[in-house]
A and B are shown apart, each in its own frame.
Chain A
Amino acid sequence: MNSDQIYTMGIDVGGSYVKGVIMQYSDSPVLVDKKCEKIRRRNPSEVAVDLIDFLLKKNNLSYEKDIVYLASTGEGEMVSKKRGHFYSMTSHSRGGKFFVPEARTVVDMGGLYVRAIKIDERGRVMDYKMTGQCASGSGQFIENISRYLGLAIDEVGDISMQSDTPEVPSGICAVLAETDVINSVSRGISTPDIIKGIHLSIANRVVRLIAKLKAESPIVLVGGMGMNKGMVDAVRELADENRNHFEIVTHPDAIYSGAIGAALWGGYRHFKLIEKEAALNLV
């Protein structure tokens, strides 16, 4: 690794996954490396620490010597190695801006909920709208359904794109929707149509949030569901149907938006602290 570079790390502990990144921090930051690990009933803090060590080792970096700031976000406050913690909307907004610098709305579509965030030109949170408590608007819901259908989570996007007559389940309650899915299977509805129906059901919630927020384009879809082609397609389809002509974009690293945002805010805070110290020394 180049010793002249400044490196920061971000660690995002979510409901289902821990995501970690190393960033090369500058005016034009670069994503150096990333890793995502499913928690699988383990202690999330330990998963996070293992992931940090893995990334450092792989990139031949030392935590003490090379990383100027390790920032956590999400539920990452308990990660022992962190230097600071950033709240998740702040991190996802910054991550969304890293993907699409001109973004004015970031939609965080994670394992537990969907949150649409309106941001200003500097990436600061202006307003937000969030799904209700029910799991029917969450990534975890897609995981449950895909498990029931015997699919791997990374297959569902492509399978959804094969649908021609989607079967949309109840959009009110995850339990009712699961019952609908079971019923669809017994009625012989094809797997692509069931999956597309689930995507449309969640997309319907996303589009309602965007409308309520009076969102502005471009809208960046981030979080785990932002990497699901079928989900992104469903959001675009419903937004168009509702005559909300938004520019909806995503990024192949969408799941890392929180970790990227935290790493970037970490770098910003590091230099602010240096500035403060310098000012104090002058006095």
Chain B
Amino acid sequence: MIIQKEMIAGLFKDLASVKESGKKVVYTFIPGNLSELIRSFDMLPVYPEINALQSGMRKKSGEFIREAERHGHSEDVCTYVKCDVGMMIKGNIGPTGEKLPDPDLLLLSYTGCFTFMKWFETLERLYPGVPVALIQSPYQEDATITPEMTEYMVKQLKEEVIPKMEEVSGQKFDEEKLKGILKLSAEAEDWIVKIFDSTKHRPSPIDAYFAGVYYIGPINIGFRGTQEAVDYYKELYKEVQERIAKGLGPITPEGVMKEEKFRLVVEGPPNWTSFREFWKLFYDRGAVIVASSYTKVGGVYDYGFRHDSEHPLETLAEYCMNCYTNLNLPQRINLLEKCITEYHADGYLTNSIKSCNSFAAGQLMMMRELEERLEIPVGFIETDLVDPRYFSYSNIKNRLESFFEMLEQRLLIEQD
């Protein structure tokens, strides 16, 4: 945790000092991000979702959202967008209290979320004259990435993204440099897969949702492709192995979880504005999350995908198209089924996010399908990403208690 915090603090420090360093800044998104390509041009990424979630955790998002609504954004718009836009309107002071630099390039590398396009239109208006690079990423409608889809993406990288990056950074595209970065990405990805796979143990040494969101931090916010990320994940893996050897459960904000009573798979992002209270509702009842879809939002590695340094542009293209929300609903169901089965989950919980259509659309159908297929107890709660108005503690508590109660009874019946 300490190393991770230092890495993130370092990135924000670098962003705060771009005037001195002369580094160029790219605003982009986490799903389908092109971290390695950005890094190969020595540019720095800014992820608006990260700013929004950090603002949510620091109880600042409500104010930013209201500011965006005063500027005409509807109550139904994604609250990451409104938090981000509100923050920019109020001076773009980032979560660490330092002013974030203006973008030199707006890079939209994943269009599977329609809101992202509208978000970028807003950014374009907020930063007039800043070049925009946009890739249209095909949806996995037929549950596959065809060679034509990859070819189409590579063409856009070559003709749209790379020329704009060259122009903004003043550097020529260096394929060998990119290959070196990609090698490190694959290495970090191998480690993170092993870490999340550790939840097969009983008790699970980690919580793959509440703690998982911290673990995916470095790989999702620009450190993929760095030695720092590889070292971080190696260290984390070592720590997880030690926990397994000692038979320890996951770490919570109140220490090691004493008893693992329920193992869950969770679908949907967490709520950030009441993150600690939300987490407490689980660990107080001995519920550990053994897998979650949200920790796959930056990349799905479950079926063996790793960045391939031998095919640099093709691998970036495939990575973009392989992010969780670009999978069609049957693919998502199959992936969740795999998680439930392989990690021996006792229950499946959906956290439906009021303002995130990319996640929320289809969640009920997915839940019903998994319930039918696996006869697993399912639960459904509703919260939001960073709008504190949509977190109703007592409602969520009531629903979770009912869910845990059913799990408890089912486990008792199984023991009979």
Contact = CB atoms under 8 A, between A and B. Distances in A.
Interface in A111-131: 112-113, 115, 120, 124-128, 130
4 closest residue pairs by CB, A with B: A125-B409, A87-B405, A89-B405, A133-B395
Interface string B138-167: 000000000000000000000000000000
Interface in A18-67: none
B399 A88 contact: no
B17 interface: no
Given A88-B405, A89-B406, A125-B409, 12 more contacts: A87-B401, A87-B404, A90-B405, A112-B394, A112-B395, A120-B413, A124-B412, A130-B380, A130-B402, A132-B382, A133-B382, A133-B392
Contacts of B410: 125-126
A89 B402 CA distance: 7
Contacts of A132: 382
Contacts of A120: 413
Interface string B388-416: 00001011001101101110111011000
Nearest to B352: A132
B112 interface: no
25 contacts: A87-B401, A87-B404, A87-B405, A87-B408, A88-B405, A89-B405, A89-B406, A90-B405, A90-B409, A112-B394, A112-B398, A115-B402, A124-B412, A124-B413, A125-B406, A125-B410, A126-B409, A127-B377, A127-B406, A128-B406, A130-B380, A130-B402, A132-B382, A133-B382, A133-B395
Contacts of A90: 405, 409
Contacts of B405: 87-90, 125
A34 to B, nearest CB: 24
Nearest to B381: A133
Interface of A: 87-90, 112-113, 115, 120, 124-128, 130, 132-133
Nearest to A132: B382
A120 B410 CA distance: 11
Find the residue from A120, A125, A126 having the highest chain B CB count within 10 A. A125
A127 B368 CA distance: 13
B277 to A, nearest CB: 16
- Find the residue from A115, A120, A133 having the highest chain B CB count within 10 A: A133
B394 to A, nearest CB: 8
Nearest to B409: A125
Contacts of B409: 90, 124-126
Nearest to B382: A133
A223 B97 CA distance: 51
A113 B399 CA distance: 10
A48 B294 CA distance: 42
Contacts of B394: 112
